[in-house]
Amino acid sequence: MTDQPATISDDLGNLPKLPGWVTSGRAETLETVAFRSGSALTVLDQLISDPRHGVPLKLLANRLALSAATATSKLEGRLAREADIRDAYHLTPPGEVRGPDGDLLAYWREAVRMRQIGAGDIADVVSADFAGEVGVWLDAGQERTRTHGPLAGCVSVLRAVLEVDDRAERIACLLSDIVLARALNWKTVLPITAQRLTKAALRNLTADDQGAELAVQVRILEAIEETIRLARDLARRAEALCSIAPKLRAKGSDNAVDLFLGEDAVAPASMLSPYIRGTTIPMTDRAARRFCDRLVELGVARELTGRPTFRLYGIVS
């Protein structure tokens, strides 16, 4: 019998979703954005906090890290493509210099791996020039959150950092994400803030232009809504991948599947061979390539680079 590609169920009734009124177009005010963001954050919190919904949280965080790296590259004026950033990180041999694009993704991936989000832990990620200010900025952001809501707290931190250094976009966005994580009591920082921000919006914010805070809050809200859609989609894709796992007969296939459920990109030559990452299970280079191609055949993964060599694979999206 010929194996059929995995299909993804259309039954999403068990997954929390945004009500239509949250995403419907309307004239925005700070009050309506606060109201809408409360609903959106409730949905996102339900999705990622309840394991029964099947959202692969590590994969979601790493996907967001790549998107945040691409967004902050634009904010910093380099305009690197997502594919170039991904390649610079995943295809640079250990011990060699990744370059600014790879280092930017490493920054965001390190952020999502933080197990504590106290000032001391954060200081290890941000520049030493800002380490002494991190606690003050976060405390102020949390106070603003208590009085005006999470998005106001995010904007407060963005403004505080950029008023000190208008080139510190990645630090400002990370601290905003930490304020959001603290407000929702998340154990993982999700890189949301940077996704839809523009240099002009941040410049207007620090200049205290009329409507600047509202504009930034709207952009963060849009990023939250997009994260909900991504989380729901990844839950479906993860279910499809797990459903075909019994068809995979390669030694260590369960561990290799787990790797795909956590990584936005898998390099067979280094992450599956000579040992499956995180295990002592051996896999030859040929077996690793065949395993990845098998996932593509079954419709649960895709090759990301379009190249015949130095390939990367990821869960289909």
This prediction has a pTM of: 0.92
Task: Report the candidate in 74, 123, 94 with the shortest Cα–Cα distance to residue 84.
Answer: 74
pLDDT in tens, 58-111: 999 999 999 999 999 999 999 899 999 999 999 998 889 999 999 999 999 999
Domains and their CATH numbers in the chain:
25-232 (1.10.3290), 248-315 (1.10.10.10)
Specify the 3-state DSSP secondary structure of 294: helix
> CB–CB of 33/217 below 8 Å?
yes
Averaged confidence pLDDT in the chain: 91
Which of the 8 DSSP states describes residue 78? -
User: What is residue 15's predicted lDDT score, i.e. its pLDDT?
Assistant: 87
Name the DSSP class of 4: P
- pLDDT value at residue 23: 63
Give 215-265 pLDDT, tens digit per residue. 999 999 999 999 999 999 999 999 999 999 988 988 899 999 999 999 999
Kindly report the three-state secondary structure assignment for every residue of 96-153. Answer: CCCHHHHHHHHHHHHHHHCCCCCHHHHHCCCCHHHHHHHHHHHHHHHHHHHHHCHHHH
pLDDT of the residue at 132: 83
CA Rg value for the chain = 20
Altogether, the residues listed in the chain come to a count of 317
